[in-house]
Amino acid sequence: MHKLIEKAKETHLLSKDELIELLCGDDTDTDLFAAADAVRRQYVGDGIHLRGLIEFSNFCRNDCCYCGLRRSNKIERYRIDEETIFKLAEHAACRMGLKTIVLQSGEDLYFDKEKMCRLIRRIKTLNTALTLSIGEKSLDEYQAYREAGADRFLLRIETTDQKLYGETNPGMSWEKRIECIVNLGRAGLEIGTGILVGLPEQTIESYADDILFFRQVNADMIGIGPFIPHPDTPLKNALGGSLKMALKVMALTRLLLPDINIPATTAMETLAPNGQLQALKAGANVIMPNVTLTQYRKHYELYPGKSTVGYTPDESLNAVKDKIASLGRFVAEDFGFHRRFQA
Ligand code: 5AD
């Protein structure tokens, strides 16, 4: 085995140059994925945590150049009402047996602090862990969500390349993004962040920085997805990311942050029918089955071809369970907190 993979497996430390060397090499990928798989097993075991994803609003105030929900896009916008969101969560928690609910939306100001906290308190009566993925908020709001019972928050940095971030997220601030991610930790929430892989002019050097950034902010969860060009966005003609590079960045993330939670992302599955399976064999230990009602899914098109469009919550869950069984792994029965947060 390559000496750097050996080193990462033992020490969970690599320098930027060492990360770059492994990201560049092609002949080492099999060993890299096997090492990430071994470290995953050693630190977080064979159980796969399922997080039921509810995409409750596609309104967004931002205009990110890669995203199908960007403000400038004239798409049919929807908000699911509080009662229906709660019912979906209840179905996911009580009928489907999911231990975590993830509430995701665009940056929709309609769901203000009061509305979110009410929803959080209601969902937390279901004996489930709760993750939010609703964008940039103030520290005060993050603290209020935590006090209302939210456990975790997902906010990808998207890229640590400040120039690229500025170009692809017009009107947004890279410094503010980082401050928000740090504030999640201050508020006592588990920190979930991550990146897109394959934005135009995104470099190997910058992936190495991204991975080091994950360590620096003490991330509890990291989601990595290949960028998939959306035809109605400014980046429609871009090449997009490859599954292979996304898996490599993910595997190295597992080696350097051995005990965190890492999802096999939907974008990976969208690029290849066995994309999530490959991810689960290269360091991932989480899947987020979509539990949004079928009628809304087609309107939550972050990128085209999203593998969950057209299915019902139960179908999505069954597809995920089949994948897990085919691997000889099992669905974890606990809440799947990062070690730092376990009581
Ligand atoms: N391809 C892949 N992932 C995307 N996201 C947004 N647009 C795309 C795209 N075109 C991801 C972003 C965001 C997450 C919710 O979806 O990384 O953080």
pLDDT (tens digit per residue) in 300-312: 999 999 988 889 9
Give pLDDT, residue 334: 96
Indicate which atom in ligand 1 lies nearest the CA of residue 240.
Answer: 1
Give pLDDT, residue 307: 83
Residue type, 227: F
Mutate to test the pocket of ligand 1, among 56, 60, 64, 66 (most ligand atoms within 8 A of CB): 66
Planar angle of CA 201, 213, 52, nearest 5 degrees: 90
Residue 247 CA to residue 130 CA, distance in Å, equals 27
Give pLDDT, residue 144: 98
Indicate which atom in ligand 1 lies nearest the CA of residue 303.
Answer: 10
- Measured in angstroms, how far is the CA atom of residue 303 from the centroid of ligand 1? 7
What CA–CA distances, in Å, run from 165 to 113, 235, 253?
A: 27, 14, 20
Give pLDDT, residue 341: 85
Tokens of 327: 């691997």
Give the contacts of 309 (CB within 8 A, at least 6 positions apart): 297, 298, 301
* Beta bridge pairs of residue 234: none
| Global pTM value | 0.97
Q: What is the pLDDT of residues 19-48, one digit of tens each?
A: 999 999 988 999 999 999 999 999 999 999
Return the axis-axis angle of helices 82-90 and 113-123, rounded to nearest 10°.
30
Give pLDDT, residue 41: 98
Indicate which atom in ligand 1 lies nearest the CA of residue 133.
Answer: 15
- Measured in angstroms, how far is the CA atom of residue 53 from the centroid of ligand 1? 15
What residues in the chain have per-residue pLDDT under 70?
A: 1, 343
Give pLDDT, residue 343: 64
Indicate which atom in ligand 1 lies nearest the CA of residue 228.
Answer: 1
Residue 226 CA to residue 196 CA, distance in Å, equals 6
Helix (H) or strand (E) holding 276: helix 275-280
Mutate to test the pocket of ligand 1, among 196, 230, 271 (most ligand atoms within 8 A of CB): 196
Give pLDDT, residue 342: 79
| Closest to 304 in 3D by CA, of 226, 188, 247 | 226
Which protein residues touch ligand 1 with a CB less than 6 Å away?
Answer: 66-67, 156, 158, 196, 225, 227-228, 230, 267, 302-303
